[in-house]
Amino acid sequence: MENKFAIAIHGGAGTILQSEMTPEKEEQYKQDLMFALNRGYDILKSGGDAVSAVEAAVSALEDSALFNAGKGAVFNAQGEHEMDASIMEGKNREAGAVAAVKGLKNPIQLARKVMEKSEHVFLVGDGAEIFAKQFDLPFMDKEYFHDEFRYQQWLSIKDTDNFQLDHSVDKEKKFGTVGAVALDMTGNLAAATSTGGMTNKKYGRIGDSSIIGAGTYANNNTCAISCTGSGEFFIRGVVAYDVSCLMELQGLSLHDAAEQVIQKRLMEINGDGGLIGVDQKGNFVLSFNTEGMYRGAGSYNTQPFVDIYK
Give the residues lining the site for its own copies (CB under 8 A). 88, 92-95, 99-100, 118-128, 130-131, 163, 202-207, 211-214, 217, 231-232, 235-238, 241-242, 245-246, 249-250, 269
- Burial (Cβ within 10 Å: 0-12, 13-18, ≥19) of residue 126: exposed
Total residues belonging to the chain:
310
- CB closer to its own copies, 20 vs 126: 126
Nearest distance in Å: CB 242, its own copies: 8
Nearest distance in Å: CB 92, its own copies: 7
Instruction: Order across the sheet with 273-279: list the strands.
Output: 216-218, 223-229, 273-279, 284-288
Strand 95-101 and strand 83-89: pairing? antiparallel
The residues annotated as belonging to the active site are: 177
Say if CB 88 and CB 218 are below 8 A apart.
yes
Nearest to 275 by CA among 227, 238, 242, 240: 227
- In angstroms, what CA-CA distances link 166 with 13, 34, 170, 229, 307? 10, 21, 10, 10, 19
- CB closer to its own copies, 43 vs 212: 212
Q: How far apart are CA 224 and CA 89, in angstroms?
A: 8
Nearest distance in Å: CB 115, its own copies: 10
Query: Whole-angstrom distance between the N-terminal and C-terminal Cα of the chain?
Result: 31
Nearest to 213 by CA among 247, 244, 257: 244
- CB closer to its own copies, 53 vs 225: 225
Nearest distance in Å: CB 78, its own copies: 9
- CB closer to its own copies, 241 vs 294: 241
